Amino acid sequence: MTDCCAHESPESGDARFDIMKVADGVYAAVAAPAYKVNCNTAIIESDDGVVIVDTHSKPSAARVIVDRLRELTPKPVRYVINTHFHWDHWHGNEVYPAAHPGAEIVSNDITREAMRRKGLKRIDDHRRQVPVEIAKLKADLAAAGTPAERKQLEANVRLAEAYLAEVRTLQPALPTIVFEQTMKLYRRDREIHLLHLGRAHTEGDVFVYLPKEKIVITGDAMIGWTPYMGDGYPEDWVGTLDRLAQLDFTHIIMGHGEVAGRDWLRTFRSYVHDMVEAVRHEVAAGATLDEVKQRVPTKLAPTYEKAFSKYGEYRPWRAGLLANIERTFAMVS
């Protein structure tokens, strides 16, 4: 696996990606931390075109990848796959049919319905909420005490205003092709499996599997830090990962974070399992939510805090764990 190239342009704002070659014709565009988070993108080149997996939080970020594709291959994008309905994985969809007429957007039926019912509402929410966010940033800027603090807040104001301009003009592009449990794309030189293995990060997580290359693309069912479970199914998550583990693969392109191997699958799966079991144990003993939030981090920290703190400044482990505990407590009690 090699570092192919990195890209940043004035027009891209905070959308920066390191493009890593994972196998011949398969790349992971690993997103750098951003004010409005961007997901990773997988790029799969075949004999007659390109498959893209996930499209980031905004069209400008997707355009960064479209520009980089011209340096990787002259072939058109034929399919865009969305792994789930969260905004940071599909708000760039509209860019691909515009740049590559005829490109189809693919997901499973559960995810498309979640985009329609929940995702479109979240776009409206962002349009209402970001002006409030900008006003707070400007108030914080006015009260900033140090040059470094002012510089960071000035940058955040610019990025928030740029994001608001994009979200106001967003043209949501829903999937044009859907499947239920499995869909397979057979190209002359490559086989691509789209799989729904069960509930995890969302009800409809899509996994993309390349059996020949032994690569799996997981969306946010696996990431490089503490998972977000706000729309998730903690009690089902481990079973879904166990079904994933039955596939023959060596590399994992996750929704966020660097390309990983099966060792991270074991660590990630163990964290979800141990967190759920610890919460279940406390609930069965009659503990309150506040008591669970005190006891479970103490129990899990020796095993998991270091492993999940690689991106600690960006995604603090304990904050993520406490949110996971709240979600799990609500579901098991």
Show the tokens assigned to 293.
Answer: 């939030």
Task: Determine, yes or no, domain membership for 132.
Answer: no
The per-residue pLDDT for 330 is 96
The per-residue pLDDT for 234 is 97
Do the Cβ atoms of 224 and 254 come closer than 8 Å? yes
Residue 112 CB burial class (10 angstroms; 0-12, 13-18, ≥19) = buried
DSSP H or E stretch at residue 228? none
Are 182 and 93 in the same domain? yes
Is pLDDT above 80 for 2? no
CB atoms within 10 A of CB 132: 9
Q: Give ∠ CA 331-327-136 in degrees, rounded to 5.
A: 150
Beta bridge partners of 215: 210, 251
The per-residue pLDDT for 94 is 98
Q: What is the pLDDT of residues 285-309, one digit of tens each?
A: 999 999 999 999 999 999 999 999 9
Task: Determine, yes or no, domain membership for 141.
Answer: no
Are 103 and 11 in the same domain? yes
Q: What is the pLDDT of residues 61-102, one digit of tens each?
A: 999 999 999 999 999 999 999 999 999 999 999 999 999 999
With H, G, I as helix, E, B as strand and everything else as coil, classify residue 156: helix
The per-residue pLDDT for 313 is 72
Supply the range of the domain harboring residue 10: 2-112+172-191
Among the candidates 191, 226, 259, a domain finishes at 191
Q: What is the pLDDT of residues 233-278, one digit of tens each?
A: 999 999 999 999 999 999 999 999 999 999 999 999 999 999 999 9
Are 106 and 10 in the same domain? yes
Are 181 and 302 in the same domain? no
CATH number of residue 68's parent domain: 3.60.15.10
Are 58 and 185 in the same domain? yes
- How far is residue 71's CA from residue 65's CA, in Å, rounded to a whole number? 10
Task: Determine, yes or no, domain membership for 215.
Answer: no
The per-residue pLDDT for 170 is 96
The per-residue pLDDT for 190 is 94
Q: What percent of the chain has pLDDT over 70?
A: 96
Task: Determine, yes or no, domain membership for 97.
Answer: yes
Residue closest to 37 by CA, chosen among 251, 257, 187, 229: 257
- How far is residue 148's CA from residue 171's CA, in Å, rounded to a whole number? 36
Residue 235 CB burial class (10 angstroms; 0-12, 13-18, ≥19) = middle
Q: What is the pLDDT of residues 158-169, one digit of tens each?
A: 999 999 999 999
Task: Determine, yes or no, domain membership for 233.
Answer: no
Are 36 and 180 in the same domain? yes
Number of helices (H), then strands (E), in the chain: 9, 13
Is pLDDT above 80 for 124? yes
The per-residue pLDDT for 58 is 95
Are 7 and 107 in the same domain? yes
Q: pLDDT band for 10, please (50, 70, 90 cuts).
A: very low
pTM for this predicted structure: 0.94
Q: What is the pLDDT of residues 131-150, one digit of tens each?
A: 999 999 999 999 999 999 99
Length of the chain: 333
The per-residue pLDDT for 7 is 44
- How far is residue 122's CA from residue 57's CA, in Å, rounded to a whole number? 12
Is pLDDT above 90 for 17? yes
With H, G, I as helix, E, B as strand and everything else as coil, classify residue 2: strand
* Beta strands in 163-214, from DSSP E residues, in sequence order: 177-179, 182-186, 191-195, 207-210
Task: Determine, yes or no, domain membership for 74.
Answer: yes
Task: Determine, yes or no, domain membership for 217.
Answer: no
Are 312 and 176 in the same domain? no
Are 323 and 176 in the same domain? no
For the chain, give the mean pLDDT: 94
Beta bridge partners of 7: 17
Residue closest to 332 by CA, chosen among 289, 268, 299, 270: 289
Task: Determine, yes or no, domain membership for 14.
Answer: yes
The per-residue pLDDT for 9 is 41
- How far is residue 49's CA from residue 239's CA, in Å, rounded to a whole number? 34
Compute CA 298 distance to the chain's CA centroid, rounded to the nearest angstrom: 28
**Total structural domains in the chain?**
2
DSSP H or E stretch at residue 262? helix 262-284
